[in-house]
Each structure stands twice: as structure tokens, then as C-alpha cells.
Amino acid sequence: MPLDALCLTALAGELTSALHGAKVDKIYQPSRDDVVLSLRTPDGAIRLLLSANPSHPRLHLTGISRENPDKPPMFCMLLRKHLIGARILDVIQPPLERAIRLTMEAHDELGDRVPRHLVLEAMGRHSNLILLDEEERIVDCLHRVDSNMSVQRQVLPGLFYRQPPVQKKKNPFSQDQASFEALLRAAPAEVQMDQWLLGTFAGLSPLICRELAFRAGGSTDVRLIELNETKRAALFTELQAVLHQVLSQETIPTLLEKDGKPYDFTFLPITQYGTLISCRTNSSYSALLDDFYAGKESQERIRQKGQDLIRAVTNARDRTERKLALQEQELHNTKNRERLRQLGDIITANFHRMEPGMARFRAADFYDEGQTEIEIKLNPLLSPQKNAAKYYKEYHKAKTAEEMLSQQLTTGRKELDYLNSVLDGISHSEGERDLNEIRQELIQTGYLRRPGKAKNKGKTSGSAPMEFRSSSGLRISVGKNNIQNDLLTTKTAQKNDLWLHTQKIHGSHVILWTEGATPDPQSITEAALLAAWFSQGRDRDKVPVDYTQVRFVKKPAGARPGMVIYTTYETAYVTPVESLVNQLRVK
């Protein structure tokens, strides 16, 4: 769900105490819509994420490290100029609006103290991050809005800042029971209760409106006509209880999970889904939002930045699959080649009965136990001897084709495995460096063209594998792409370290660093779980994971990146669990 006004109110209360007096130490802009303020507080360093992403705008403290571009965007440079060294004085939310204003005390070019305001408007596709000066003029913003884009409200440098237009809805905090019942009586009787709440009162999200309808009326789709006096009174009581929670800051950061995966979030326990959705409380709204958006944000970032890679590899994979299907059909056709030789023998044995110009010839099939008479097609333009030679030639051609097609199918299947491993590597990428490594790999293997000199910005530093620690403290490394897999397995790991990989399933190479000792069974199980999680078997139960010492893993000469063979292995069967993966991850 988007961050609604009431949830934002609860979050603002949490941020007010955490941010008051914090000093802006550094500013980053890891992506087009996201800005991160690195802050210093008496309790230590913290990071504040302000996102104007149209799909999931928000602000909260974050513990997730984000990869920053080599060259900061212009808006980031502007924020650094005006806000480095500034102190946050207040966190303000306009009543029932999806906007937050950070009021700061900064210094101008002369060193004088001046007020600055950083406004995040978390309003879906209209989301924006705006810097204001002491006169409430716009210094600049993430997304400039001119008159061609909006006649009603422009957001441009130099203009005075105006708040977004207020929705023509009632303030739920100002309603007493009499005014609430009057609104109910004036509403169309056939309208659903949740839709009436959503269209009448500001600040309420669809999720909260459905929850109020469920609590008061027993169903999320109950209509107003179905409400008796008791249920009408119950609706007002439930609404007031929710509003009181928000005002008194007694809300509960709640993550909704479906099948163990984040589904939604809100500020109170949700009952409308029954057993289909489970509720898990978090220690804070910042932790809640970090949990909810971590996976979604990563996948979206990879889709945006790796579109060319995904498209190139997917096209190559589909082309290889079509080619394999044709070759398999051709190979199937060669299975009947022995019959061609037999027909040639039958023709040869009956030369004395044949005449030139025959199109068909009937003879006993001496390869059949019953000596059944068969009809053989002939080319009337050829002599009997040449007709026999034609069948022998087709036999030898099919025999040669079988050998060549078998080799081509082996090569094609290896290529298909490699391409699937690259796609799996793209899904595990965590930033631009990971994608650049895969891009370089595809250039080396011929699937992408090498960029021209104008586009070649020189060699960039490679990214590191993912790092984990087992419960007993052993280091576990997980490759994110084939280049890292090769480096881990063939260059970095020692012969006595443990190598793990999913059995016949594309995935990452995993190294359990044994430090010369025998690893404990729990560490092996946890490393196997990581191998299963970072593979295409992530959503399966009892995933087979092979493990062996690195000494038994070899890379064949000329093999594609990430391709190895191994012997003398054991197999563990594990079911991936995301919570344990996150627990083992080295932050």
C-alpha cells in the first residue's frame, strides 16, 4: 500500500524525537528519486531515506546500504551546498496530508544562520522532494512541474511554495457522533461502507476503511442499507478508536505477510483477512518500511538498470531453445536411418526383376520374419543401381547427421544452461557494479557488443560477493554472478574450504571458509540453505544442494564463466527460509 496520511502521522511522531538536533553530515542520491541524508546524533550516526519514487514514496531511517553513482546528480550537489552542516529542528506534517517538512538551521555563504526546509510530498505519481529557502521560495526540486504539466500548481525554482490542493473531504478528527450520523443518513443506502468512508473522510486508506467496515459490520463489503442502529454506532466507535490511537501515538507498526512474504503494512493489527494474512509487529516504522520495501526496491532497481541485459540474455536464451527444439526433431528423424540401408539392400537383391523407369517396386522384405511384401518408392529417372545408391547415401547422411546433431545438442544445452545462469545472476545483482560485471561477461562471451571508445569510461572496480556468518561464526561467501563464482571457486577459496551448489538447478557458488578445520554440521546446513536461496530453487521445498571440498571442483578448459565439474560430493536437502538468510547476512 502507499504510505497513507494516518500512517505518515504515526511515522512523523517517531521521526520527530529521532531527528531533532541531528546534523547533516553527508548527502547521497543513489537513484533518480531517492535521497539519503547521513546524520550525526548524540546516539551515533543514522541515515534518513527520502524517496519521491512514484510507486512507493516515503521517508524513514534506513539500515540498508545503497550503491551511489560515481558522479553525484545535480540535485544532490545542490542539497550538499545548502544543507551540509545543517541541523534538523522539527519534523512537521500538514494535517491529514501525505507530506512531511524537515525544518533545518543551515548556514549561507557568509556563514550566517538561515532556515531551510526540505519538503517530501509522498503523493504517488505526483511525489516530489523540494528544497525551500527562508522566504519559502523553491530553491530546486527533484521533479520540476511547469504550466504545461499542471495549470493548477507549478513547482519551479524561484516560485513561492504552495501546498498541494486540499481534497474536498471531511476531517475525521473534527466529527462528533451527531455530525457523523448526519453524514451517514445523507449517504446513498446502496453504497458499501468502506467506499463511503474512503470518499467522505480525508486521511483514511482503503485498507483502514475495509478494516473499519469489517469491525463494525462483520464484512468488508457490507452496504450502508444493511446497518442497524447498533452497527452505525459501532462504526463511529471504531473510527474514534483508530483516530485516538494516532493522536495518542499508541499505534503499532504492523507488517502483513502472505505465505511468509511482505504483503502490506499499516499502523494497527488487521483482522479482515482472517487466517489468510498474518500480522507481525515491528520495533519501529523505519524498520517496518525497510523490511517491506527492501526486496521490492532491489527488484525494481535491477529491472530499471538491467533491462538491456535481461533483454539480450532472454532473446539469446529463447533463440537457443528454438534451435535445440529443431535439432532434437532432426535427431529424432535420423532414428529411422537403418531402414534406409535395408531398403537399399532389398533393391540390390532384386536388380534382375527391375526395369528402368519404374516409380514403385514390390518385393519381399527379407528383414521381416514373415517375409511381408512391401512397396518401395523409386525415382523413375534413375537406374535401379542408382536408386539403391540413393538409399545408401541417405543412410550415411543420416548417420553423419546423428553424430553432428548429438554434438550440437550437447553444446546447445551447455549454452542454454549458461544463459539461464546469467539470468539468475542478474536477479541476484544488488547494484550497478554487479550489473557492469555481468555486462562485461556478456561482452567477453559475444552476447553483447563491445562499446565504442566514446562510451568506454575505463575499467571500473568490481563488486564483492555477498558475505554471511554461520551461527558458529564461520564465514560464508556467495557469488552474485558467474565472474564472482569463478573467482571464488578457482582463485580465492582454499582446497580444504567447502564448495556448495544446488544440484541440477542454476544458482550461486557458495564457499564455506573452514580455516583448515572440519566445519560443524550447522554451518554446513546454513551454507546449503544460502545456496538454495540464491538459486532458481528458492521457492521449493527440500532443495538438493551438493557440497564438497574445493579440491574436487574443476573448471574444464574453454568452459563458460561459472561452469565447473565436481566429484566426491555429498548432498543436503534444505528448505530456504528468508528470515534466516537475513539473520546470517553480514551488514
Largest CA distance in the chain: 116
Give the per-residue pLDDT at 67.
Answer: 78
Q: State the pLDDT at residue 191.
A: 93
State the pLDDT at residue 85: 94
What is the C-alpha to C-alpha distance for residues 480 and 302, in angstroms, rounded to an integer?
13
pLDDT digits (tens, 9 = 90+) for 204-247: 999 999 999 999 999 999 999 988 889 999 999 999 999 999 99
pLDDT digits (tens, 9 = 90+) for 262-281: 889 999 999 999 889 999 99
**DSSP 3-state assignment of 418?**
helix
Give the per-residue pLDDT at 455.
47
Strand partners, 104: 88, 116
What pTM did the predictor assign? 0.66
- pLDDT at position 493: 94
Give the 3-state DSSP-derived string for 1-68, with helices as H, strands as E and coil as C: CCCCHHHHHHHHHHHHHHHCCCEEEEEEEEECCEEEEEEEECCEEEEEEEECCCCCCEEEECCCCCCC
In the structure grid, which three cell numbers stand for residue 287, read together?
524498520
Nearest to 586 by CA among 507, 480, 506, 478: 478
| pLDDT confidence of residue 310 | 85
Which residues, 6+ apart, have CB-to-CB distance to 547 below 8 Å? 498, 499, 500, 501, 512, 524, 527, 528, 569, 570, 571, 572
Give me the pLDDT at residue 301, please. Answer: 67
CA–CA gap between residue 420 and residue 449 (Å, rounded): 20
Mapping DSSP to helix (H, G, I), strand (E, B) and coil, where does residue 424 land? Answer: helix
Instruction: Give the Cα separation of 387 and 378 in Å (integer).
Output: 6
DSSP 144: -
Distance CA 587, CA 582 (A): 9
Grid-cell match 547422411, residue found:
397
Long-range pairs for 458-464: beta carbons < 8 A, 24 or more residues apart: 460/70, 460/433, 460/436, 461/433, 462/433, 462/437, 463/430, 463/431, 463/433, 463/434, 463/437
- Give one word for 135, left, alpha or beta, with left for phi > 0 and alpha for psi -120 to 50: alpha
DSSP string, 305-373: HTHHHHHHHHHHHHHHHHHHHHHHHHHHHGGGHHHHHHHHHHHHHTGGG--TT-SEEEEE-TTSTT--E
How many helices and strands (H and E) does the chain possess?
14, 22
Residues of the chain with pLDDT under 50: 454-458
Of 441, 526, 533, 529, the closest CA to residue 481 belongs to: 441
pLDDT of residue 456: 46
| Long-range pairs for 327-331: beta carbons < 8 A, 24 or more residues apart | 327/405, 327/408, 327/409, 327/412, 328/409, 330/401, 330/405, 331/401, 331/402, 331/405, 331/406, 331/409
Q: What's residue 9's pLDDT? A: 93
Q: What is the pLDDT of residue 472?
A: 93
